[in-house]
Amino acid sequence: MTEFRVGRGHDGPARLGEYIMGTEVFETPLLTGPNISRERMLQYGTLGRDPSNSRPTIAALPFGMELEEIDKAGLGNFDSILLPSLISFSSLDDQTSVLTLRHQLDTIDEIKETVDPSRLIVRIPENIDIDVFKSYIDDFHSKGIRAAAFMFDGYLGSTDLDSIILRSNLPASWLAVAMGKISPSTVPLLYYTGFDVIDTGYAYETAANGVRLWRNDSEHIETGKQQRFCSCSHCESIAEAKHSDLNEILQNHNLDVYESILSESVHAMKSGRLRWLVESMTHVSPNQASIQRQVDKQIYSFIEEFTPTTGADNVPLIGPESYNSPAVKRYRDFLEVRYTPPEGKQIVLLLPCSAKKPYSDSKSHRRFSETIESALGRASGRVAQVILTSPLGIVPRELERIFPAANYDIPVTGDWDAEETSLGAEALITYLNKLDPSCTVVAHVSGGYLGIVKAAESKVSQSIIYTTPETSATSWESRQALQETLVDLKGVLQLKDAPLKQLEEIVRATADFQFGKGAGNILVPKNAKVGGKPYRQIVCRIDKEQICSFIADTGLLSLTLSGAKLIAPLNRYWVRLDAPIVKGGSIFAVGIKEADSSIRPGDEVIVLNNQDEVIAVGRSEMSGREMCELKRGRAVSVRHKVEV
């Protein structure tokens, strides 16, 4: 029997796993190719044409091969079988694509008595309609198929994009195989979009043509001519190599390049930086940048579904490719839909971001805080501080420690492009429209930040006062102008003293951001007692009972059982077990009956029993859909549970 097991960990749809073929266990992601004897690669070939191997392989079943011929063709007991296409007609039209899938279904029925369906890999035609594809996948799934192969032509155009889009509609439990012309620079993108096995056949094709591949380039090798320096052992004698030896040297070098870039991709995934690696590869070619942008546009919901809600300590946002990355766009979406500004604010102070995160730890923002306190004293609580930044748009002070606001890093030039300005302006407009029109906005910004405010000004009701039109916001002159403006406003607006409610505002805003609108008022009602430090931990209690705690390192709330019971009626972020209690410190997917589809890896989740009683709280290790579809794997790491 052949089985694919999804392992623990995510960075987008990229995942770790195991492809079990009899007694052999191949860790995924995995490279595959013809005539491979490398330990970390899986060989493929055509059944009846290529020699058999002692290790399990992927054997392509030729069109028209009869059952008796399969038995005689040397098929290994644990080989996987790639189901046949219709002799090069699969790309003619949609109807032929349907015929290809029907033929494969017929083939399954013919060989199911001899070959376990778990060993079969369905071959997906390139141009099939997405809805037709979905309906046929259900048919294959019902027959026990758990793997699919998609074709790539290497041009990174519509065909390759269609294959990625089709893959995004596979069940979470299926193995996804990328076959065809795949260059090394495309490997990070394919892994990021959820492919578990990636073809290296292009390494052999290029070697046969005298081409040596690099991470993001290639060169034609001519015997006797000076070549690029390569430190690999295979290329030590390439300058003196005979023509008959050159092909083997180039094959080994090219395969090393594939292994290297896949290893780099896996390392990036484990450290939460795979998205950054994928974005960095967009500079290889215009087509690479184009397909990445199309992926973000057309299958954003698929990529976002598997993107963790926490990440690396440092998240590089390089440029336009970062503007709509899942972590960034999700932040903007949540801010628009879930966030509510604190009550009682009469002044909104707009500030520039800082290189140091969170902003409060930076020298510039400490000086801003000193200026506010000096000007307003005990009325400082009447000011809402909002930081303008790209590509997040805005960051309210009370959310500055949440991911990715506390983690992102961008190149700072002082110049903002049109899209950056537009994203910032839209976020600012949305924020200000949630406030009373009588609030006064103080824009203590310059340069590109000033452009955001100017772009938003005509679309908001509040009056805006500019304090730094000619100089940097951090200069002494600008801070002096800010202080004078705030002093004047204190008198004009007759600001009254207001106790600082920084801790309550942080916990309440974080609750809404994390669990949805309304959660903040439930977890932090007016009678709640909140104490702690925003840079370490904040604890919220009601009637001396701890409800939740804010953890500064993650910028998120950790619920107690009491807190979970309070927000359980919101019907969000729940996992339902078909069991009365939780045993042990982990909940596995096999024991989950249902789960909220909005759950993402890293979310705080509420565990319910079959009577809808709260029995545990913990951290999700996979998406809500995976919890329902997978039969293996840790789904929730339990923090608190009802003890019996």
Residue range 398-416, pLDDT digits in tens: 999 999 999 999 887 777 8
The residue count for the chain: 644
Distance CA 82, CA 57 (A): 10
The predicted pLDDT at position 350 comes to 98
The predicted pLDDT at position 86 comes to 66
The predicted pLDDT at position 202 comes to 96
CB 186 within 8 A of CB 288: yes
pLDDT tens digits, 229-275: 999 999 888 877 787 788 999 999 999 999 999 999 999 999 999 99
Distance CA 103, CA 105 (A): 5
Provide mean pLDDT across the span 597-614: 96
Provide mean pLDDT across the span 30-59: 85
pLDDT tens digits, 427-442: 999 999 999 999 999 9
CB 35 within 8 A of CB 43: yes
Grade residue 121 by pLDDT with cuts at 50, 70 and 90.
very high
The predicted pLDDT at position 90 comes to 44
Q: Which domains does the chain have, with CATH numbers?
A: 2-300 (3.20.20.105), 339-492 (3.40.50.10630), 515-641 (2.30.130.10)
pLDDT tens digits, 130-162: 999 999 999 999 999 999 999 999 999 999 999
Q: Please choose, from the candidates 599, 600, 580, 591, the residue with its C-alpha nearest in 3D space to the C-alpha of residue 641.
A: 580
pLDDT tens digits, 74-88: 788 899 999 987 655
The predicted pLDDT at position 54 comes to 80
pLDDT tens digits, 508-548: 999 999 999 999 999 999 999 999 999 899 999 999 999 99
Torsion sign, CA atoms 478, 479, 480, 481? positive
Distance CA 131, CA 221 (A): 46
Grade residue 8 by pLDDT with cuts at 50, 70 and 90.
confident
404: its two tokens: 């990715």
Mean of the per-residue pLDDT values of the chain? 93
Provide mean pLDDT across the span 292-311: 96
Question: Residue 351 above 80 pLDDT?
Answer: yes
pLDDT tens digits, 412-430: 777 789 999 999 999 999 9
pTM of the model: 0.94
- What is the secondary structure of 353-399 as a DSSP string? --SSSSGGGSHHHHHHHHHHHHHHGGGGGGEEEEEEETTTEEEEGGG
Question: Residue 93 above 70 pLDDT?
Answer: no
- Percentage of the chain exceeding pLDDT 90: 80
